[in-house]
Structure 1
Amino acid sequence: MKKLLLFFFLVSLFTKCKKLKADLIIVNANIYTIDSSFSKAEAFAVRDGKFMAVGSNKEIKKNYISSEIIDAKNQAIYPGFIDAHCHFYGLGLQQQKVDLVGTKSFDEVLERLLDFKKEKKVNFITGRGWDQNDWEVKQFPTKEKLDELFPKTPVAITRIDGHAMLINQAAINLTNINATCKVNGGEFIKENGKLTGVLIDNAMRYVKIPEPTRKEQIQALKDAEKICFDLGLTTVDDAGLDKNVIELIDSLQKTGELKMRMYAMISNNPENLDYYLNKGIIKTNRLNVRSVKVYADGALGSRGAVLKEEYSDKKGHFGALVNSYSNLQDLAKRIADSEYQMNTHAIGDSANYVMLKTYNKVLQNDTNRRWRIEHAQIIDLKDFDFFKNILPSVQPTHATSDMYWAENRVGSERIKGAYAYNDLLNQYGKIALGTDFPIENVSPLYTFYAASIRKDLKGYPENGYQTNNALSRENTLKGMTIWNAYANFEENEKGSIEVGKLADFIILENDIITIEENKIPKTKVIATYVNGEKVN
């Protein structure tokens, strides 16, 4: 009997020795791998920050051992969500400013400004998030009430889309702005020959807002990281950063103070271009710098988007290019001669046409440069085929935010080519999805809901908005994971749960592929993992 027990003990010991050691094992899960066949799995093992095995419960339990084994209890697991277009650093800075998102009137804006002034006692008040289209009076505000309430304190508050700003007289006094000023690619809005305080696009550059201190910058990045991790984002594409911020991010990532993975688009200015285009691609485990963020036009909400025909609600107005046509052409040629990707903000059908033609001309049908049109919001129906070699990068919550007034801007015919995500997908074969936060809410689950269901958070409209251009849930999930990794030239290292890839994944309380549509935006993120490490 003793010999028999010894035999079984040795067999058991031998079997255990054959098992490979993992840092983390997850079993009994509902795993969407997002591999090429969109297969599912029950379990996986992680070692050294990467997936070392993916398969059934039986396979993983038989072949791997770990001191940390998590029973997922059939909860849904997905690759970490990637936001293809956001303003991560801007989100962090916004936490130190007046939050004007959701204000229902200019009076509410004023109340928030007064409360902020009492609490913070700052010398220059800044804020962002107002949108006159959400107010009963849907006209741009003017500065008179700001002048009354803040006669000596400069105030500069930015519209939600970042393409319009309202400033008071105290802020004007710190600039060279006067009633005779004109600017290319923007506008100083006036009434009766006097400044209203509203600045559009390039006109905003005249306002010199105090730069944040290094301490404030670090806090901004950490604040943004916490918000994003809590909502299931593991990689963010920041659409427009300067060298000093990129280097700060790199330093914080290297010391472990910042764990978010970042695809950094450099802002289009001479200093950044000269430095990065000559230096070439910068790539670490958490940072990827290989693209340039460019602006072609402004936003539809502030009528800065460039249209082929006049705005339906403003006769004789077509919007304006933020950069001149010749500058855009020269810039595209310069970037094409480098290793960098060009990612251009284009909202109006005219801006999209100009950039699509430019891209295709300078790339000469090179299909792997992955140049992106950011937003691709209003497309002339005749121009969709230009996207065959150009990657569309869109933000689905823009559709459900703009749907109340967008047709007023462009009319019943042009709206057919607006927010046309499925049509864009059919051209390129992939589509990158993001939020544009903090312009829209950070939550990628809202992105998923807006893209696939095409309703706002109140369930409006009942049958969805232009549902012929809704994405399937499967394609939406790809557009938040593997296709975004592809957009960043990172599809071989992230975006799916496969052996050898980075162990970035999230656990959700619901399966967003199968649950009732109204439960999608309410779904909670149970846990977010980066490199196999729990970060929320």
Structure 2
Amino acid sequence: MKKTLYTLLSTGLFLALGACETQKEADLLVINAKVYTVDKSFSTQESFAVKDGKFIAVGTNEELQKSYRANEVIDAKNAAVYPGFIDGHCHFYGLGLQQQKVDLVGTQSYQEVLDRLVAFQKEKQVPFITGRGWDQNDWEVKEFPTKTKLDELFPETPVAIRRIDGHAMLVNQAAINLAGIDINTRIDGGEFLIKDGALTGVLIDNAMNFIKVPKPSKKEQIQALLDAQKICFDLGLTTVDDAGLDREVIELVDSLQHAGSLKMRIYAMISNTEKNLDYYLNKGIIKTDRLHVRSVKVYADGALGSRGAALKDAYADKKGHFGALVNSYDNLQSLAKRIAASEYQMNTHAIGDSANYVMLKTYHQVLPTENDRRWRIEHAQIVDVKDFKLFKNVLPSIQPTHATSDMYWAEDRVGSERIHGAYAYNDLLKEYGKVALGTDFPIENVSPLYTFYAATIRKDLKGYPAEGYQTNNALSRENALKGMTIWNAYGNFEETEKGSIEVGKLADFIILENDIMTVEGNKIPHTKVNHTYVNGERVN
């Protein structure tokens, strides 16, 4: 009996030691989670293992705990885990710079704008005041302001403050004098607003290029990138598509990433300048673990809020006004041909139905019918219903919070008929089969949870309208999540390396307070991001 017991104990010990010896090493093991893998079957799992910055196994708690031993084990306690969110269209660097300027977002009157400017200058005493975020559509008097009060408050200090959409600017006389412009200055693709024979101080689109805003120092540029990174990591973003960067900033991003201080993954669209095009189109695609440069950001028109979007028919609230292309038709055609001859993707800002039509036709003319170039229309905001079919081979890159920000006045701009082709995200999805979702921050709030809420629930943060805004074009929660993860990765030619929690992919993931796939709609935008991981490393 003693021999038998000894034999059993020895055998048990041998098996236990054998089991330990067969366990594989992992850096991180996450257990007891509801893991939305966003794989092809949109499966959910309980656990995954990470090693050397990549997912090495995904499965059940039992399977992975039996097969792996890890330096760190996270018990998610049944929390929902998702692939790291990707913002398909934003201004990451611009968000960082905004932290160093006057924040005018949410101002409810022109007087509040002035009050914030005075308070800012009292504290900072800068030689040139800049800021962004005002929106006259949020004011009781929904008209563009004039520079009269600015001139009184700041007679010698130049002031240049951008509208929320970045397509209009209010400046004072000091800034006008510095720029050397007057009522006789001519501009293509923009407008100087004039009243009673004098400049009002409001500049639209290309007219803003005359204003000589001081360039940030290298120290300010670095701080801007680091500030933006912290904001984005705290909100669950692990990759951002920065829509328009110059070579100087892209190279600064690369150096900070190599130094290890900038860990955000960035898909950089180069700004459409001759210098950028000459350098990057000849150099070809640039790809590192955290930086990807292979696209050109182009502007076709302006914004709807400032009536700069190019429409086929006149604005419903401004007779005889159609908006305008900010680049000529010929320039857009030649640019598209040049980019088509390179390896680069063309990503064009198009808001109005005329701009969308021009760019869709241009894309189809310069690219073969069957291609995998993944050229994008950024915003695709107002589309003529008969033009939706032209998105068959063009990826719509859309920002759902634009719909819930603009819904109060958009129909005033375009009328009751054209509004049916506006913010039509589900209709766009039906044509291409995928949509890339972003925010366009800092024009909109950075939070990807606001994006998810606006895409699926179609209400503002106060729950308006009660029935949702044009809910026939709401996205399902599954499609919205895909649009913020795997479809954005696809739009960046990165779907084999990120966008889902699958073996071999980069270990970018987030843990949320609520399960946004099942929670009540009104709780989605207030859901906390518990933790954000990049390469299996916690970054917030």
Q: Is 1:261 equivalent to 2:270 in the alignment?
A: no
Q: Secondary structure at the match of 1:441?
A: coil
Equivalent residue for 2:146, pick from 135, 138, 142? 142
Matched, 1:440 2:444: yes
Residue 513 (structure 2) pairs with residue 509 (structure 1) = yes
State the AA in 2 paired with 1:61: Q
In 2, distance between residues paired with 1:226 and 1:424?
33
> TM-score w.r.t. structure 1 length?
0.99
Give the stretch that moved more between structures: 471-480 or 361-370: 361-370
Which residue number in structure 1 is paired with residue 224 of structure 2? Answer: 220
**Counterpart check, 1:237 vs 2:232:** no
- The 2-side partners of 1:299 and 1:4 are apart by 78
Q: Within 2, Cα distance between the matches of 1:24 and 1:417?
A: 47
Q: Structure 1: state its 5+ residue gaps.
A: none
Partners of 1:17 and 1:172 in 2: CA distance: 75
The alignment status of 1:338 with 2:361, answered yes or no, reads: no
Distance across 1 between alignment mates of 2:388 and 2:11: 71
Q: TM-score, normalised by structure 2?
A: 0.99
**Residue deviations 1:232-285, cap 9 Å, x none?**
000000000000000000000011010000000000000000000000000000
C-alpha distance after superposition, 1:74-112 (max 9, x if no partner): 000000000000000000000000000000000000010
- Please give the secondary structure, in 2, of the residue aligned with 1:354: helix
Amino acid at match of 1:16: C
1:120 aligns with 2:124: yes
The amino acid of 1:24's aligned partner reads L
Say if 2:506 is the partner of 1:491: no
Q: Which residue identity does 2:461 align to in structure 1? A: L
Work out whether 1:475 is the aligned partner of 2:476: no
The AA in structure 2 aligned to 1:381 is V
Q: How does 1:114-513 map to 2 (within 5 A)?
A: 114-513=118-517
Matched, 1:14 2:18: yes
Aligned to 2:35: 31
Matched residue type, 2:130: T
Whole-Å separation in 2 of the counterparts to 1:13 and 1:264: 50
**Alpha-carbon separation, structure 2, partners of 1:90 and 1:227:** 13
The residue identity in structure 2 corresponding to 1:532 is: G
For residue 192 of structure 1, report the CA deviation from its aligned partner. Answer: 1.0
Give the superposition deviation at 1:366.
Answer: 3.2
Which one of 59, 67, 77 corresponds to residue 63 of structure 1? 67
Q: What is the deviation of 1:67? A: 2.0
Structure 1 Cα separation of the partners of residues 239 and 95 of structure 2:
15
**Structure 1 residue 5 displacement after superposition:** 3.4
The CA distance in 2 between the partners of 1:364 and 1:172, in whole Å, is: 47
What SS is found at the alignment partner of 1:137? coil
Letter in 1 for 2:368: Q
TM-superposed CA distance for 1:6, in Å, is: 3.6
Paired with 2:371 and 2:423, the residues of 1 have a C-alpha distance of: 24
- Give the superposition deviation at 1:2: 5.1
Query: For the residues of structure 2 that align with 1:377 and 1:4, how far apart are their CA atoms?
Result: 72
Q: Distance in 1 between matches of 2:457 and 2:11?
A: 60
Q: In 1, distance between residues paired with 2:442 and 2:369? A: 35
Q: Separation in 2 of the partners of 1:523 and 1:484?
A: 22
Give the Cα separation in 2 of the matches to 1:526 and 1:270. Answer: 43
CA distance in 2 between partners of 1:498 and 1:177 (Å): 57
How many residues get paired?
Answer: 536
Question: How large is the RMSD of aligned CA atoms in angstroms?
Answer: 0.7
Q: How much has 1:4 moved relative to structure 2?
A: 4.2
Q: Aligned equivalents of 2:394 and 2:243: distance in 1?
A: 18
Inter-partner Cα distance in structure 2 for 1:256 and 1:4: 53
Letter in 2 for 1:353: Y
SS in 2 for 1:66: strand
Residue deviations 1:326-370, cap 9 Å, x none?
A: 000000000000000000000000000000000011012133100
Structure 2: how far apart are the matches of 1:514 and 1:3?
A: 53
1:11 shift after superposition:
1.8
Structure 1 residue identity aligned to 2:506? L
Out of 78, 81, 86, the residue aligned to residue 82 of structure 2 is 78
Residue aligning to 1:45: 49
Partner of 1:521: 525
Deviation at 1:3, TM superposition (A): 5.2
Please state whether the residue corresponding to 1:218 is helix, strand or coil: helix
Quick one: which amino acid aligns to residue 251 of structure 1?
Answer: S
How far apart, CA to CA, are the structure 2 residues paired with 1:192 and 1:522? 47
The one-letter amino acid of 2:480's match is T
Q: Letter of the aligned partner of 2:391 in structure 1? A: F
